[in-house]
Amino acid sequence: MEQYLSFSKEVLEAKESGKPIIALESTIISHGMPYPQNVQTAREVEQIIRDGGAVPATIAIVDGKIKIGLSDDELEMFGQSKNVAKASRKDIAYLIATKQLGATTVAATMICADLADIRIFVTGGIGGVHRGAETTMDISADLEEIAQTDVSIICAGAKSILDLGLTMEYLETKGVPVVGVGTDVLPAFYTRTSPIKLEIRVDEAATAAELLKAKHDLNMKGGVVFANPIPEEDALEEAFITSIIDQALAEANENGIHGKEVTPFLLGKVKELTEGKSLDANIALVKNNAKVGAAIAVAYNGLK
């Protein structure tokens, strides 16, 4: 395994001293946000995690290895996104074998975090069941990964570019707990609410940590999704974002966008149509997730 994993000094020291570590993905940097906001956000998110008493480990594939913790230059390189592949589960081995740069999705970041024995992962939103999946079969590999890999995610729910109802059905079938953080309904990324009720809610990081401990002690595989709503002051107006998402979806259809290009295309389109408001919201919610994630990681570490 050492042949494939390369830890940053900061992460290595955290491992040795038993500090809580939080995984971060790199697709959000290379394919989820434009430069330079992506790099700036990545740096700020890392700092929020440090300020919260945990250690950030941004994960990516570089030069035939899985990097657990990126240097500042590497963050910059992934931010400028030249020749960086979007790496999901299916791509990892190939990108390693051919020594190409890979920005890891939620699914791939979970696999790498698991190999590095990191159990908590902060990001913006997870992939899910796309609208129209009953004919396209476009279901993100993120869902299958959450079902089988023991890494838990703090996110702001899923975006309504997806079919949220079908995404929840999929997770329910797979037995993935979706936990509302201070909420009884699934947050929809840009907005704090959706019509979908959640059956599990936590209001304290300590409760989240106890839940993770029980799951771990019971040897239950798979992750937990902590759905943490975007802060009120950063949320977008629901009717506004809904009409824009509909427009972005229509353009994706007209342009025949499919496969791994769908999510980056929609994110870019939504940003363009909202004149950057979606990007501001995205940045704010990731930072908020970092804060909450750090608190959960610290509490969980305290139970070990």
Rg (CA), the chain: 18
Q: Is 35 helix (H, G, I), strand (E, B) or coil?
A: coil
Q: Which of 20, 127, 222, 293 binds ligand PSU (CB under 6 A)?
A: 127
**Spatial distance between the Cα atoms of 289 and 143, rounded to a whole number of angstroms:** 19
Q: Is 34 helix (H, G, I), strand (E, B) or coil?
A: coil
Task: Determine, following the binding rule CB under 6 A, whether residue 141 of this chain makes contact with ligand PSU.
Answer: yes
Binding segment (CB under 6 A) for ligand PSU, from list 20-28, 44-52, 74-82, 201-209: 20-28
Name residue, tokens 């609208």: 131
**Spatial distance between the Cα atoms of 171 and 157, rounded to a whole number of angstroms:** 12
Say if CB 207 and CB 135 are below 8 A apart. no
Best CA proximity match to 224, nearest among 246, 245, 200: 200
Say if CB 303 and CB 206 are below 8 A apart. no
**Spatial distance between the Cα atoms of 220 and 193, rounded to a whole number of angstroms:** 29
Mode of pairing for the β-strands spanning 84-87 and 101-104? parallel
Cis amide linkage into residue 36, ω under 30° from 0: yes
Binding segment (CB under 6 A) for ligand PSU, from list 21-29, 71-79, 174-182, 268-276: 21-29
Q: Considering CB distances under 5 to 8 angstroms, the limit depending on partner class, which of Mn ion, ligand PSU, none binds residue 67? A: none
Task: Determine, following the binding rule CB under 5 A, whether residue 234 of this chain makes contact with Mn ion.
Answer: no
Task: Determine, following the binding rule CB under 6 A, whether residue 142 of this chain makes contact with ligand PSU.
Answer: yes
Annotated binding site for substrate: 86, 106, 140-142
**Spatial distance between the Cα atoms of 3 and 220, rounded to a whole number of angstroms:** 29
Which is closer to Mn ion, CB of 144 or CB of 272? Answer: 144
CA atoms within 13 A on the CB side of 247: 13
Say if CB 166 and CB 129 are below 8 A apart. yes
**101: which DSSP letter?**
E
Q: Which of 106, 230, 248, 252 binds ligand PSU (CB under 6 A)?
A: 106
Annotated binding site: 86, 106, 138, 140-142
Q: How far is the CB of 213 from ligand PSU (least distance, A)?
A: 26
Task: Write the binding mask 73 to 92 for ligand PSU: x where contact by CB under 6 A, - elsewhere.
Answer: ---------------x----
Binding segment (CB under 6 A) for ligand PSU, from list 13-21, 46-54, 120-128, 177-185: 120-128
Which is closer to ligand PSU, CB of 31 or CB of 131? Answer: 31
Q: Considering CB distances under 5 to 8 angstroms, the limit depending on partner class, which of Mn ion, ligand PSU, none binds residue 142? A: ligand PSU
Q: How far is the CB of 35 from Mn ion (least distance, A)?
A: 24
Question: Which residues in 136-166 are b (16+ Cβ under 10 Å) and which e?
Answer: eebbbbbbebbbebbbbbbbbbbbbbbbbeb
As annotated, the active-site residues are 25, 159
Task: Write the binding mask 137 to 166 for Mn ion: x where contact by CB under 5 A, - elsewhere.
Answer: -x----------------------------
Which is closer to ligand PSU, CB of 140 or CB of 288? Answer: 140
Residues of this chain that interact with Mn ion (CB under 5 A) are 138
Residues of this chain that interact with ligand PSU (CB under 6 A) are 25, 27-28, 31-32, 88, 105-106, 124-125, 127, 140-142, 159, 260, 263, 267
